[in-house]
Every structure is written in structure tokens, then in C-alpha cells.
Structure 1
């Protein structure tokens, strides 16, 4: 009974999204309200613990919520300056003689690099595909799906960092648990992109390149681990994919004639905010003294729960350097006062709902994690384990799924990604629950939690918030509702492949 009641906030959010057609932010608020009420009444959590948990969740959400603001500011700068227009023009001409190569290069390769560099692929790639003449439904579907294979390494590895912090392991050790999933998921997503774009005909033509994408994604992850910089996996793998696909394309079709009108901005200048950002992040993560300084020495822990600090790492987080690259690009583009006001207006209009949506699920997760804790002389302790919501959910799931739990974990991730809209928020919401359940069943807690994370990445293709952002980028709000029936079966099938991997590594330990 306790387990079903503990799951109630998740059910409330799901019902509000599917039946009530609520926004992600409103559904999240009702889920948070349900969590607060249950934690304080049914699970007997003191008010002080609840308040501290909410504050801890707010602090823990900053790498995601603030990065939303930073990324949207960067996007507004590039739109107002004309940089985005130049990038779209360039992308339309890329691999224009072969649609299969074009789809894989733009949607998989370019999408992965964009997401890794702090951009939002659904708001960049969707307008590009529409400008190339594809339907709004297909454009939204492809832009939301394409970069999901390396969703763990989006926004310069923020989901991985949150995963390692919540699970309580080293960043490198955490990254190694994602490697078994990468090649299979990357291959399956490439095939899914081709199927949506052109059916079985495109799958046949792009099968070998899809296999190569799976291999290149795996090699990119291994190289990043070797360099002790797993958060740049998305950049390494994305650039590898683009380079190899372009080489294959040129061997088959020759070099495209890329026409650049004289009145257009240079390509280097257009890409400058992302290039500056990549330079900062690569330097910080490959130069060990800097990495140790920003990641460890200046970790700035905030200990609201006495013994379980949240490490903010303000000088290492991607949002700091996205803001920095954005400010520098203002001088490069030489924007006037009117353009600066337009940037502020666009950013202000866009940030409120995504900021709250990125925050609220961390609040829910931290209240659940600390439910039942009481203040003692030693700090805050869980004196009665049955009063903890995460424990109740874990015991219920262990009894329900038993040995089949590894098959369930990716689908839990899909549910979490659908509900929260981001892999990071889904990981925050379900990581502790998955760890606890896996321990009860004797499975590898970290591998099972990694399976949840990958499942939540796949959910980008059906997440209401992601699809709505894509539709908004082409001024077609409402079109996103037509995408869900088109992609839901594909997502569930890809989750099945992930389940097979999850089951095969269920008791493996590194």
C-alpha cells in the first residue's frame, strides 16, 4: 500500500499531461503539491526537513534550470544577429545530393554537436528541415529524436554530472556504465530517423552508415573516458559522425558547390558563440590543473541536509561558460541598443516556463528522497525506513517485477522523460528509487540507473515540452499533437533494445 501511495505524485503528473492536457509546468506543480502533502502527512516528515529538501532540490536543479536561461539567451543573440539565419542557409546545402546522408548528418551528427554545445536541437533543426521543404510533423519528429542516442552528454554532460552526484560515484566511473548502451541505442535511433524520413527504402540505403554511427558513438565515449573528460563525449562523437558521413558522401557524390551570398555573415562568425563555448569547455576539462581547481577545489558545497551536501561547482558548470560565450559574441556581432533590447525581450518571453519545468522535478525528487527523515543529534536520520517514499516505491517494485526489473528500467526512464521533459530531471526523479530497488533485487544499481537514464533520453521524441518547443520554433503550435502517435511505437521499440542490454548487464560490476 505504501508503494502505491508513494507513486501517487507520478500518477498525478501523468494524468494531468495525458488526460488534462496540462502544460509540463502546471502538471509538475500539482505533482510537487501532492508530494509535499504526502510527505508531511502519510510519511510523517517534519516541516523543517521538507523545507530543507525543497531548498536542496532548488540548488541541485541550478545546473539544469540556469542552463536553460543561458542557452535561450545564446539562441536569442544568434537569432537577432543573423547568425542563425546563416547557419540554416548552410545546413540546407549540406549533402544536398543525397537525402539519406543529409538526414543522418543534420539530425544525428549536427544535432548531437548542438545539444552537446548547449544549444537546443529542436529549436534549431526543426526550422532547417521545414526550410528544406519537409512537413512540419516530420521536421518536429526528426529534430526531437535525432540527438537522443547521446542525450546523456547533452549540454556538455550535465545529465551525466547530475547522475554521478545523485548516485554518489566518480564522474569517470559513472560514464563507464553508460558505454554498453551507447552503440545499440545510437544505431537504433539512426534507423528510426531513416524510417520516419523515408521508410524501408531509406533504411536499406542507410543501414551501413547507421552501423557506423553506432560504432563512432561508442569510440567517442571511450575516447572521452580515456581523456578523463566524459562530459565532452557528445562533442567528440558528434564531430566524428559528421566527419565520417561527409567523407562517405563526397566519395559517392563529389563535393557540393556551397554558395555563400556576399551579403551573408561568414560561417565562422555565425558559429562563433558555439566555437567559443567549445574552446572554454575543452580547455577546462582537458587541462588537469584547471579541471581540479574548478571541479574539486572550488566545488562550493551547500549542506542543507547535514552531511549530504549539494556541490554547485559554479566555475565548472556549462552555464557559466555559455553566459561568457554569449557576452563575448555581443561584441563580435556589434549589436546596437535596439538589437540588445530585442534579445532581452525574446529571452524574457521564453525562459519562465522552461526554467520552472526544469526546476520542479528536482524539488519533487529531493522531497521524496528525504521523506521520513527526522532531526537528531547527529543531523538528519531515517529512523523508520517505511516512512521513506523512495524505499516504499522500491519495495513495491521489487515485489511486482522481481527478476524482470531490468527489462522495466528503460521504460521507467521513458515514463520519466515523458513526464519531466528532460533526461536530467528524469534521472533526478528516479535515480534513488532505481538504486534502492536494484539493491533489494541483487542487481547492479548503477547499470540499472544508467538504463533508466538512457530510456529517459529516448523519451525526447514523445515529450510534450520538447515537441512543443519544436512546434513553437516554426510557429506551428498544435502540430506537436500529431507527432506522438507517429513516434510512440518507435520509442517503445527502441526501449526494448535498451531493455535487452539492461538485462544482460544486470549483475555485472566494474
Structure 2
């Protein structure tokens, strides 16, 4: 027996929207006003959404329960799988004592908290978003900043806010690939349109981050460094998205901004070194020196991580890993049981790509790094157990949040909210980013938001005479600023920043910034639709005929062999360099 989704269950769209908005409003109320813990707010939100889905939308109880289970399972894999492995990597670095060397390295570049935030939260986080995505950037960068001595709330908050501009091109451009598949618009024009929107935000974001951390006057003190960071990132993001496509903007812009800022800091220093209130003054012990081998060893977990996530993003490697290490199944009782508004039956498949998942790439990086940083696998196992214990509540929160997202989508509640925005007529380009923002807030993923709303964005734009690439790209651009307040992202950041149980504080820290940036993007998109039409790329729609190609897995095996050789050479180099001198720093008394 099949059940058909409804958009206006009360036969009055205003009333239907009010009811549909209740679960969303509850999340805001629970985290901002009531200051609930993340998992408590998520579990109660599931109960509210389930009652509305069953009693108002007429969703069968069985389908509602299965929808929640489907979402929770997706929250466990691949999302929690990736988060656990990311935090495990950082914990290994701390346990081995190698993070002390990294802290010394960062202090040698700059002890200024403002500049450290730019290098790690903004630039390095963007690079990680481009390679791994799905929570890894926030998990790793927030943990690094806390390890450096940042206030945990600020560390987690600014990493969430910094992880906006790169989200559109995350995971080697997957959000744009999905938007293209759903809308029928080729990837390149969507990439170009997004690349003509987000660089404006990218230029402002470094100054915005520093202002949040230290205030406007303190941000002005380092404006040359802020300018170098933002302009280099924005230029490289614009250039790569417009001329190379959606796969590499984050990787190129992230690395480019790191190199530019580090090079600039060799010739320019702020007049005063800024630290947090009540934090000891910056001290850099010049009597301590580390060899290049020791530095390489300390950074080796993150070097191996970078190599692995780049390799796992290559299609030939994905193909060979999926050919031997993936299975999928029809979710029992849910697959093809729901009929969408357009009459299509909704497939509900669960893909377990246990080899090609980004979390597996990070697991391999963990295993490679353990001996390189001087730990035994027994010690590594103890660290892993401690990591699981550290993340028990975030795991519950993420599973609950994804269950909440899935029942909102499957019941039609999300479609009710979207329908109202789609009926705003001439002003729809202004509200198009709000649709993406809403989708990412609910699902925690720009990719999922694009899968939900790209077709709606396309059809609505056509009906009002606006080029559809503007609104499809707006769905992506608006979604990036919803990421910082998505309950899923909040749970990841809280876990990395040792703020478990304080998710409400983190939500209140980021929510106003999300609304401000959303307004900025809404105004930009409105201008693109009607005022600066010359920014819209010329393109042709994709052909409706699909060609099925069989992947050439032989290339993947060659790539994997090259990866194994590269890791072997790296490990040998580290072992050789660290044996040249004793692994302890030189102390001059």
C-alpha cells in the first residue's frame, strides 16, 4: 500500500504553513530560549514532527517510524563514522605529545589569536571542506583551536561561521553535482553562478570572523593580513569555480590563502599580539627548537589525512573501492511506499560504501599515523575507546537530528514550507536563498538541500521569467549560511570543542550571524536576477538522454598503488629524519 504526500493538508496554505513550522520553531525555542541540550531538543522535535506528520498530514504510523529510523541510520553512517574518525585523529596527536610541537610551530608563525583563527578556521577549514566535507572541517579545526588554547565556545563558533563560503564546493563539488542532476542545468554554469556570489562573502568573512573574536577596533589593527587572507581566497575561489568547475575551488582557495597569509606574515607583524581576556600573554620560548624531522613527524597525521581525502575524492579510486566494498539495500517497508506530489514513487535505498566513505579514508590516516607519531596500536585502541566515550552524546544527537530531517522531508512538511516561498512571485529571487538555508538547517547538508529543492527552484524561476541558474545557484549559496546553525553541525562542533551539553550556547552564538549573512546573499541574488544580469553565464541545458558508462577500475588500482607508494615514501622519510637527531627539543638553560 502506498501513501501520497500532501502539501496543503488543512486546505488552507496559511494554516498548513503555521502547523508545518512548529517543529522548526521548537528547535529555535529549545536552543535559544530554553537552552536545552542538543540531544534533548532533537528527540523532542522528532516527537512533535511525528505527531504532525501522522495527525495532520495523514502519514501512516509505520512509515513515520521507518522514516525516522532511515534518517538515524544515515546519521550513524556516514556522518558519525566520519566525525568519530576525525576526532580520533586529533586525539591521537594530543596523546602522542606531537600537538605540543604543532602549537610551537603556530606560535613561531604568530601567537596572535586573530591570525591563528584565519589560518586554521578559515583557510585550513576550507581546504578540508573541499576534500572531506560532511562535518570533518569543523571537527578537526575546532579541536585544533581548542588545543591551541582558544576559548572552546569561540573555537567552535568561529569554525562553524568560517565553514560557510566553502560549503558550496565541498567534498570535491558534490553539492553542485547534485543540483545539476536534479535541475538539468550543467555543472559549470551553476559553479560559475555560485562563484560570482560567494566570493563577495569570502572577502568579508575573514574581517567578520576577527571582529567576532576581538571586536571591530582590534580587527582594524590587522586589516592588511585580513585583506590578504580574504582577497586571495575570494580570487582563487572565483577563478577556479568559473574556469575549472566545481571540484577544486575549496582546495585551491584554501591552500592558496594559507600560503599567501604565511608568506605575508614573514614580512609583516601586528603591532600588538592579541589574546583572549584573562589569557596569559603570548610567550614564545626561543630556547626550544625542533628539527625539520620532528616538525614533519608532528604534522604527519594531518599530512596523511590530506593525502588520503584527496585520493578518496578521485573518481577512479571511488570506482574501484565501490566495486569491491559497497552494498545497498531497499529500506524495508519504506522503499517505494511514498508517492511524491509529482506522482513519482520515492525510492528509499541505503548505500553502505564502507570503503569509499570519507570516514574510512580518515580511519586509514589514523592507522598510518599511529606508529609515525610514536604510539603503539594498543595505545591507539585506548584513545579510540576514549573518543567513543567523548562522542556518545553527539552521536545520539546526530542520529536524532537526521531522523528529524527525514520525517520532515518524507511527510511533506518541508514541501509545505517550500511551497510558500515559491509563491512569492517577483520577489522569489530574494527568497530563493532562504529555501536553501531552510533545507540545510533541516538536513545539515547542502547536498541534501539541493536534492530537495533544485527542481522547485528551476520551475519557479521559469514561471516568473528569471534565468533558472540564478535561483538554483541561490539554493546552494543560501544553504552555506544555514550550515552554521544546523543542529547536525552544532552537534559536531560541540563534540570537537568539548561543549557537549552546551549546544544551546553554540547555537545562540551563531544564529544571528547566519541571519545576517543570509540577508546579504538574498540581496545579492535579487540584484543578479534583475539588475546585474550580465553576471549570469550563457549555457545550454543538459540532454535528457542518459549515457551509462562502465567505470574503468583498472585506473583505480593504479591510483591506489601510487597512493601506497606515496605513503610508504612519506613514512620512510619521517622515520629517517627523526632518527637523525633525538626527538626531544634542544633546551638552552
Q: TM-score range with shorter-chain normalisation?
A: 0.7 to 0.9
**Are the equivalent residues in 1 in contact too, given 2:309–2:362 (CA < 8 A)?**
no
5 Å matches for 1:464-503? 465=491, 468-469=494-495, 472=498, 481=505, 484=508, 489-503=512-526
Query: Of 209, 220, 224, which aligns to 1:205?
Result: 224
Deviation at 1:183, TM superposition (A): 1.0
Structure 1-normalised TM-score?
0.77
Match in the other structure for 2:303: 275
Q: Distance in 2 between matches of 1:493 and 1:244?
A: 28
Query: Of 179, 197, 201, which aligns to 1:181?
Result: 197
Q: Distance in 1 between matches of 2:29 and 2:319?
A: 45
Q: Distance in 2 between matches of 1:505 and 1:491?
A: 21
User: Structure 1 pair 15/338, CA: closer, same or farther in 2 (3 Å)?
Assistant: same
Q: What whole-Å deviation, never above 9, does each CA across 1:416-464 have from its counterpart, x for those lacking one?
A: 76x66x842x764786257546634646363242133212135489975
Name whichever structure is richer in helix by fraction: 1
Q: Distance in 1 between matches of 2:62 and 2:95?
A: 46
Asked if residue 454 in structure 1 is aligned to residue 480 in structure 2, the reply is yes
Asked if residue 4 in structure 1 is aligned to residue 18 in structure 2, the reply is yes
Deviation at 1:465, TM superposition (A): 4.1
Deviation at 1:245, TM superposition (A): 1.6
Asked if residue 390 in structure 1 is aligned to residue 390 in structure 2, the reply is no
**Are the equivalent residues in 2 in contact too, given 1:431–1:449 (CA < 8 A)?**
no
Q: What whole-Å deviation, never above 9, does each CA across 1:106-148 have from its counterpart, x for those lacking one?
A: 4422333355553521221234253xxxx66655554443343
Asked if residue 290 in structure 1 is aligned to residue 290 in structure 2, the reply is no
Q: Distance in 2 between matches of 1:296 and 1:506?
A: 44
Match in the other structure for 2:207: 191
Deviation at 1:363, TM superposition (A): 2.1
5 Å matches for 1:138-177? 139=155, 141-152=157-168, 156=171, 160=175, 167=182, 172=187
Match in the other structure for 1:266: 294
User: Structure 1 pair 366/102, CA: closer, same or farther in 2 (3 Å)?
Assistant: closer
Query: Of 263, 280, 297, which aligns to 1:247?
Result: 263
Match in the other structure for 1:375: none
Tell me whether 347-356 or 103-112 shows the greater mean CA deviation.
103-112
Q: Distance in 2 between matches of 1:398 and 1:11?
A: 20
Q: What whole-Å deviation, never above 9, does each CA across 1:150-180 have from its counterpart, x for those lacking one?
A: 13455x4597389659958799567566433
Match in the other structure for 1:377: none
Asked if residue 37 in structure 1 is aligned to residue 51 in structure 2, the reply is yes
Match in the other structure for 2:426: 403
5 Å matches for 1:216-235? 216-221=236-241, 225=245, 230=247, 233-235=249-251
Query: Of 1, 14, 22, which aligns to 2:36?
Result: 22
Q: Distance in 2 between matches of 1:470 and 1:8?
A: 30
**Are the equivalent residues in 1 in contact too, given 2:93–2:298 (CA < 8 A)?**
yes
Deviation at 1:45, TM superposition (A): 1.7
Q: Cα RMSD between the aligned structures?
A: 4.2
Q: Distance in 2 between matches of 1:8 and 1:45?
A: 17
Structure 2-normalised TM-score?
0.68
Q: Distance in 1 between matches of 2:221 and 2:515?
A: 21
**Are the equivalent residues in 2 in contact too, given 1:272–1:329 (CA < 8 A)?**
yes
User: Structure 1 pair 170/398, CA: closer, same or farther in 2 (3 Å)?
Assistant: closer
Q: Distance in 1 between matches of 2:387 and 2:478?
A: 32
Deviation at 1:312, TM superposition (A): 4.0
For structure 1, the 5+ residue unaligned runs are 372-387
User: Structure 1 pair 492/108, CA: closer, same or farther in 2 (3 Å)?
Assistant: same
**Are the equivalent residues in 1 in contact too, given 2:398–2:488 (CA < 8 A)?**
no
Deviation at 1:243, TM superposition (A): 0.9
User: Structure 1 pair 408/458, CA: closer, same or farther in 2 (3 Å)?
Assistant: farther
User: Structure 1 pair 285/144, CA: closer, same or farther in 2 (3 Å)?
Assistant: closer
Match in the other structure for 2:566: none
User: Structure 1 pair 428/365, CA: closer, same or farther in 2 (3 Å)?
Assistant: farther
Asked if residue 79 in structure 1 is aligned to residue 94 in structure 2, the reply is yes
